Amino acid sequence: MRLTTKGRYAVTAMLDLALHADQGPVSLADISGRQEISLSYLEQLFAKLRRQKLVVSVRGPGGGYRLSRALDAISVVEVIDAVDERVNVTNCGGNGNCREDGFCLTHHLWTDLSQQIHSFLSGITLDSLVKRQEVRSISARQDDKEAKGSAKENKVATMPLSILG
């Protein structure tokens, strides 16, 4: 399956946003820290997600991003499509130019599989992912790691300069 980093990161970032939606707008810096995705890359992805009206930005102090719709109204395939990603397992990218003379013998098989994957991902919402226990456990671990990292940074930032040498 040809799902590149762009599609995977977009789904991961949207799931992170969904998991933290109850805390108000979520900053891209927070998502970046928890998911270890480059902030500049997230900015590019969220520009596309915003254009497709999957997220809305909130300006000002405490600003960030919110989902534009309820968790059960956003499917994984919408997120993938929003960042111009395709779920396609054909070698020709679905163009039908597998061989010089047109389709290869298995083109229609791989096209059917691509459609099945697309249909499968259409049925998975952010809500269904958020409700999965393993997703919640991983998120809690990431939150703990992020909190410990922030506490460590704050401790160093508040040390007297004479200690730092």
User: pLDDT of 102-157, one tens digit each?
Assistant: 788 898 999 999 999 999 999 999 999 999 999 999 999 999 888 787 665 655 45
Which residues lie below 8 Å from residue 52, measured CB to CB, with a gap of 6+?
Answer: 78, 81, 82
Look at residue 90 and tell me whether its pLDDT is greater than 50: yes
Token pair of 80 as six digits: 């993938």
Q: Looking at the chain, which runs of residues are DSSP E strands?
A: 55-58, 64-67
Q: How high is the pLDDT of residue 36?
A: 95
Q: Give the residue from 3, 37, 2 showing the smallest Cα distance to 15.
A: 37
Residue 28 located in a structural domain: yes
Domain count, the chain: 1
pLDDT tens string 8-55: 999 999 999 999 999 999 999 999 999 999 999 999 999 999 999 999
Q: Model pTM greater than 0.85?
A: no
Token pair of 82 as six digits: 């929003």
Rounded distance between C-alpha atoms, residue 64 and residue 126, angstroms: 19
Q: Give the residue from 63, 61, 13, 6 showing the smallest Cα distance to 36.
A: 13
Residue 99 located in a structural domain: yes
Residue 165 located in a structural domain: no
Give the domain range for residue 40: 5-142
Higher pLDDT, 164 or 106: 106
Q: How high is the pLDDT of residue 124?
A: 97
CATH of the domain at 83: 1.10.10.10
Residue 87 located in a structural domain: yes
